[in-house]
Amino acid sequence: MKIDILTLFPEMFDGVLSSSILKKAAEKQIVTYHVVNFREFSNDKHQSVDDYPYGGGAGMVLKPQPIFDAVAHLKQKSENTQPRVILMCPQGERYTQKKAEELAEEDHLILICGHYEGYDERIRTIVTDEISIGDFVLTGGEIGALAVVDSVVRLLPGVLGNENSPIMDSFSSGLLEHPHYTRPADFRGLKVPDVLLSGNHRLIEQWRMKESLRRTWERRPDLLENYPLTPEQKEWLQEWEKGNYSSSDS
């Protein structure tokens, strides 16, 4: 996969892209990163990228010309003539794991990081997606773009050591992930559930599914609104709603 990032602050990406999983993915040549300062594409002598909004108002607005030309340049260099062009924007669709999985199927992503008061509306005509990482406003799109890059790259085949890791992540199945434990089995009186020490893989998987469902019910019940519950899962929810928890639940 090729990931191009258009930003006015390329230095913000140096540390993250050269660390941890993102660095290893690049070293394995699974992904290449290209961070571009779109100020370099400005066609005026001052290399300005913003201007006052028509009609007045607070703040400055990003001009279309530098971004249009930067995107066109990146498309010309791409083997994929139809890359996904993503505008990081608080007005965009709310980012989800499902969206990350969708983007991970692409060969080429171009992410545009905004700044100042906003974008000239005409910039939206050259993008394929508008993404928001949450219902809040940041000073620019860089942090959001990094979140998108991280969430997508870790899904690419060969990036993680265990290919099943992304499958078990929170949100990948539609539910939050179950609790995890490691050694020691008893830490300051806090014990690992007996079922995880039993060696019975069928019971362990059942426990994990049950805990995944319960954690979602307790913390993110909205995720269950469209989740296809099995008859057994429906029974669990009915018991929990009554306040009934068996000893095997803990």
Binding site as annotated, residues for S-adenosyl-L-methionine: 114, 133-138
* Token pair for 224: 């269950």
- Strand runs (DSSP E) across 17-174, as ranges? 32-37, 50-51, 61-62, 84-94, 108-113, 118-119, 129-132
Active-site pick, 101, 117, 177, 249 = 117
Q: What share of the chain is helix, strand, coil (3-state, %, to 5)?
A: 40, 20, 40
Active-site pick, 154, 166, 211, 214 = 154
79 noted as active-site residue:
no
Q: Are 129 and 84 in contact (CB under 8 A)?
A: yes
| Binding-site residues | 114, 133-138
Active-site pick, 130, 169, 177, 249 = 169
How far, in Å, are 204, 205, 214, 230 from residue 201 at the CA level?
A: 5, 6, 20, 20
* Token pair for 178: 């179950």
| Dihedral pair phi/psi, residue 212, rounded to 5° | -60, -45
Active-site pick, 66, 83, 90, 166 = 90
169 noted as active-site residue:
yes
Residues labelled as active-site residues: 90, 117, 154, 169
